[in-house]
Structure 1
């Protein structure tokens, strides 16, 4: 795979006890150094226009001033320093780089993956939260749909353990971006209910699968096969963006989910198959993941799938509580 990376993303300093640290990116790069066929590209930072396309200009100016004054604690979870401004623009720019590469034909072993930070999927139109300042995947998807030749619609599939309230907020009433999220029910930020399906101008373009704690490979695979796949069949996207958080891993410290490293490989294989079927450009954008070894192994697994590895298919039973959620989503979306 091609990986987007910029050194400035390491300068976003959240402090010694914060889970979202530069060590996450360092761990990923150490893990990838052991693998074949890894390329790095630095892309370019997002410009003001790209970020303002999905965020309130007044909010962006507030973030800029906050960082210029030395940063501090924006909220209980979200911390900034002076360098955060440049890091956030770089992270958004890397997401756009990944989407541009995918649209330009990078696929197979050249499939792009942006590993910037801070992450983005909690950043709403006019608010930073959950470690996020600018919504990286939203910046990239909006640019593609509005400006890229041959891209009229996009899917953002968010497999981070937390619901991407920011991505949902930004695209809730748009019919050209379909947002799909698998997340742990009841976890921060408390959004992402089954009946949140889109605004009056975009019905059925938000699909939320809030799975119970303890869900793992079997449950995630069931959501992909029984919900994501048929929903995308109806939507027929030109672009497929994965908001790739790895905090649903069984060894991540901040969730109760049970996805294995092999499970992420299997989901990657499924996503690749779906994107290929629709001839949709495919790009990955890093979100969460806070167990350093689990994060590095999972990103490495995604890479290995594109390098020829065939992941093991899960063969266990789906939890009955998860089956009920899947049935509810199927009914809400008439799948």
Structure 2
């Protein structure tokens, strides 16, 4: 894979003991150094006007001034220093690079993966939250639309609800937002009945799984709900909001996705984009066990390079089955 990366993203200093630290990128790069077919690209910053076509312009200007004044605690979880503005604009630029490269046909071992921070999927139109200041994946989707895509799908498998994508895209038909997440976890949004409005009606798909849902449940949601729905949508580009905190060994969630599970979800998405003649790109979000984060990204990389992940054993749990059946009743997927 081609990994977008900028050293400036390490300068976003969240302080001691914060789970979203620069050590995450360092751990990923150490693990990828052991892998074959890994190349790095240093994309340019995102244009501020592009960011302002996703976020409220006054908010973007306020965030820039906040950093220029030395930063501080934006909220209890979301911390900035002076360098955070440069890191955030670089991270958004890496996501825009991943999206436009994938749209232009970069696939197979050239599939792009944006390794930026701060992450982005909690950033709403006019505010920062949940470690996030700029919604990188939506900036990427917007860049792709301006480069000629008609329809973009975002598949967010981070353990937390992708509330930022939902907030920004809720009434848009040109971005289909999918979020698989642990029900009741931060930020407390992402119910099944939040399906979009206006042009975005039935273009927002939430899969709020109960705690303890494992790889079998995630794959069932892909096979029965997400993939059939996206085949019908027929996107030109699929972007993965690639958080790895639903991993069974992540310290901040109670989900049970295996390392192989991330490979299996990747495998299904590569089959989807082949059917739709679409591009596929990845944008880093969460994941707070350094070893499992790095190993899971390495598994995505080798799956793209033709590794065949091992399928899990067992049945879909009762709680996960209820969620999937409710989504089918909503009109998503196919019975």
The alignment yields a C-alpha RMSD, in angstroms, of 0.7
Q: Which residue of 2 aligns with 1:250?
A: 248
Q: Which residue of 1 aligns with 2:269?
A: 271
Q: Which residue of 2 aligns with 1:297?
A: 295
Q: Which residue of 2 aligns with 1:261?
A: 259
Secondary structure of 1:295's counterpart equals: helix
Tell me the alpha carbon deviations over residues 176-228 of structure 1, each in whole angstroms, 9 at most, x when there is no partner. Answer: 11001100000000000000000133210000000010011101101111111
Q: Which residue of 2 aligns with 1:181?
A: 179
User: Mapping of 1:177-326 within 5 angstroms?
Assistant: 177-326=175-324
User: Mapping of 1:37-116 within 5 angstroms?
Assistant: 37-116=37-116
| Offset of residue 307 of structure 1 | 1.6
Question: Which consecutive unaligned segments of at least 5 residues does structure 2 have?
Answer: none
Give, in whole Å, the separation in 1 of the partners of 2:224 and 2:116: 31
Give, in whole Å, the separation in 1 of the partners of 2:199 and 2:102: 28
Tell me the alpha carbon deviations over residues 275-325 of structure 1, each in whole angstroms, 9 at most, x when there is no partner. Answer: 111011110000000000000000000001012210011231111011001
Tell me the alpha carbon deviations over residues 206-252 of structure 1, each in whole angstroms, 9 at most, x when there is no partner. Answer: 00000010011101101111111111121110010000000000110
Q: Which residue of 1 aligns with 2:137?
A: 137
Give, in whole Å, the separation in 2 of the partners of 1:308 and 1:326: 29
Give, in whole Å, the separation in 1 of the partners of 2:27 and 2:51: 28
Give, in whole Å, the separation in 1 of the partners of 2:274 and 2:301: 17
Secondary structure of 2:199's counterpart equals: coil
| Offset of residue 333 of structure 1 | 2.5
> Is 1:35–2:17 an aligned residue pair?
no
| Offset of residue 166 of structure 1 | 0.5
Contact 2:172 2:198 in 1 (8 A): no
Secondary structure of 1:322's counterpart equals: helix
| Offset of residue 29 of structure 1 | 0.1
Give, in whole Å, the separation in 2 of the partners of 1:307 and 1:330: 33
Give, in whole Å, the separation in 2 of the partners of 1:288 and 1:206: 21
Give, in whole Å, the separation in 2 of the partners of 1:333 and 1:158: 20
Secondary structure of 1:201's counterpart equals: helix
Q: Which residue of 2 aligns with 1:165?
A: 163
Secondary structure of 1:303's counterpart equals: helix
Give, in whole Å, the separation in 2 of the partners of 1:164 and 1:266: 21
| Offset of residue 334 of structure 1 | 4.6
Give, in whole Å, the separation in 2 of the partners of 1:326 and 1:96: 32
Contact 2:125 2:168 in 1 (8 A): yes
Runs of 4+ in 1 over 3 A off after TM superposition: none
Q: Which residue of 2 aligns with 1:327?
A: 325
Normalised by the length of structure 2, the TM-score is 0.98
Normalised by the length of structure 1, the TM-score is 0.98
Q: Which residue of 2 aligns with 1:148?
A: 147
| Offset of residue 15 of structure 1 | 0.4
Q: Per the alignment, do residues 133 and 334 of structure 1 end up closer, same or farther by CA in structure 2, a change over 3 Å counting?
A: closer
Contact 2:225 2:332 in 1 (8 A): no
